[in-house]
Structure 1
Amino acid sequence: MPGRLEGKVALITGGARSQGRNHALTFAREGADIVVCDIAEQLPSVHYEMAGPDDLAETVKLVEALDRRCVAVQADVTDTAAMSAVVDHGLEQLGRIDILLANAGIVGHAPFADITDEEWDDMIAVDLTGVFKSFRAVIPTMVEQESGRIIVTSSIVGRTAVPGLAHYCAAKWGCIGLMKTAALELAPYGITVNAVCPTNVDTAMIQNRHMYGAFAPDLADPTREDVYDAFVSVNAIPIPWLEMQDVSNVMLFLASDDARYITGESIHVAAGWNAPNVA
């Protein structure tokens, strides 16, 4: 039986590991070929270990083990020329791009007045400007095809506020406005544009001592066990964090024909974090 994405090509940014890799494997299992890009190097303002070239190569290996084609490019989403080159290479190798998952992102925490210029600039550059440049890079080919699915990884904190995450909240709120405007502009061309807003996800972005410090500021060296209850406390459903597959399943739905008339929407995969809010 054909997969839900049979014959499609998906471009996934930030695909060297974690959510991006899991999305790539989920889409490949459903028949898609994959173009994956990642900066695959460390940003000085990021306080946890980022993915590297070996991680990007591992994503390719795992996709190909599912008998799907995979094209990988080391590229920075904040670089216009680099993102254009990713799209051009994907088209050259695989012939089309049907789906964009604008997934690349970073996170960090600091009190508002302590956020440095470098931390602010990098957060906005990667988590918002990088989304814009990824969108812009794929739009011409999707308009020409008169079809496409664009999905951005926002966050539940793109729908609310969290002390210590001002720069991250600002970027993720910005993604929602960007997505909604693109949805209106691209609807006449058969292109849908949506956002997924997860609560905390069990990935390296969350599972590191820097982020633990946001949830256990009184501890000098907090562990996963130390912050477990604090993570549970933000969700209505009593879990600390989502599994990556929980997010991939929603990405798959939005990329499939099942969601052909859904556009301009923010889908909350938030274990009820958002339940008290109107939006």
Structure 2
Amino acid sequence: MGRVEGKVAFITGAARGQGRAHALRLAQEGAEIIAVDVCQSFDTVPYDGSTESDLAQTVKEVEALDRRIVARKADVRDLGSLQAAVDEGLSEFGHIDIVCANAGIASFAPALELTEEMWQEVVDVNLIGVWKTVKATAPSMVERGQGGSIVLTSSIAGLIAFPNLAHYTAAKHGVTGLMRTLAVELAPHRIRVNSVHPTTVDTPMVANEPVWGLFLGGVAGATREQAAEGMKALNAMPIPWVESVDISNAVLYLASDEARYVTGTTTVIDAGAMQPFKVPHSA
């Protein structure tokens, strides 16, 4: 216990899913939390977005761990709202040591059938929002001069191609490139920058009927049970998806002093999905 004791973590997309899991895992190990989320749905996204009640639940669960948390509704596409959340967090805690640029959305269609609005919304949230998160948080870390850790949420789609996800794949590849440049630029300030690359994770982004159908080749009315069986084909290990805490454990390592010289890396949590040769799963 106490692997990030005394540190303050700024987390986007913290109302649910991976963001909430990161907040709880870091809080379990001693961190105070600044949690932001847009708390809304998106017109181009085929599943419901987070809500203010979701963000309130994150607050409740962090406080149940006897850690302090500042939570604010903020859109990662809006630098001003991110800066306001940073200022509020700095006023409460005095510093930021860890940044988890986690907020993300997904929609899908063949590349030539994506609408301009679909493309723009995914890229704005998943790539430009990551850059704006770092732009809002990193200056205070540089000024403080005590180093820190920035973890950007990419995907295995940030390293390999996925059909029907051209905009998502492009944005996540962009996050990988952004991470590498930031790692070089911020290294003189002892601020480490890494990215995490999950396979499918059992969060609201994946656990919904349209996405289950996508991974089953367009099946209408797909069930979780059908998807669980079909999605095993993505991974080398015989599982359909990983859990949010599996990603949070990687984030915790990268945020902790155990990784004090780890920067510029792509940490893959993929159950073997990226291995070129996979052993067929038994029935």
Is this a same-fold pair by TM over 0.5?
yes
Partner of 1:231: 231
What percentage of residue pairs aligned between the two structures are identical? 51
Which stretch of the first structure deviates more once superposed, 32-41 or 210-219? Answer: 210-219
| 1:265 counterpart letter in structure 2 | T
Structure 2 SS opposite 1:96 = coil
Partner of 1:156: 156
Q: Within 2, Cα distance between the matches of 1:152 and 1:11?
A: 12
Partner of 1:250: 250
Q: Within 1, Cα distance between the matches of 2:184 and 2:197?
A: 20
Q: Deviations over 1:122-177 (max 9, x none)?
A: 00000000000001111111111221100011000110001101010000000000
| 2:114 counterpart letter in structure 1 | I
Q: Within 2, Cα distance between the matches of 1:270 and 1:154?
A: 12
Please say if 1:124 is aligned against 2:149: no
Q: Within 2, Cα distance between the matches of 1:173 and 1:9?
A: 28
Partner of 1:5: 4
Q: Within 1, Cα distance between the matches of 2:196 and 2:77?
A: 21
Structure 1 SS opposite 2:99 = strand
TM-score after normalising by structure 1: 0.97
Structure 1 SS opposite 2:151 = strand
List runs of 5+ in structure 2 lacking aligned partners.
278-283
List runs of 5+ in structure 1 lacking aligned partners.
none
Partner of 1:38: 37
Q: Deviations over 1:85-144 (max 9, x none)?
A: 111111001111000000000011111111111110000000000000001111111111
For residue 272 of structure 1, report the CA deviation from its aligned partner. 0.8
| 1:219 counterpart letter in structure 2 | V
Q: Within 2, Cα distance between the matches of 1:220 and 1:14?
A: 29
Q: Within 1, Cα distance between the matches of 2:42 and 2:218?
A: 27
User: How many residues get paired?
Assistant: 276
Please say if 1:25 is aligned against 2:35: no
For residue 216 of structure 1, report the CA deviation from its aligned partner. 2.2
Structure 2 SS opposite 1:186 = helix
- Whether contact under 8 Å (2:216, 2:231) holds in the other structure is no
Q: Within 2, Cα distance between the matches of 1:233 and 1:145?
A: 47
TM-score after normalising by structure 2: 0.96
| 1:239 counterpart letter in structure 2 | I
| 2:127 counterpart letter in structure 1 | L
For residue 218 of structure 1, report the CA deviation from its aligned partner. 4.6
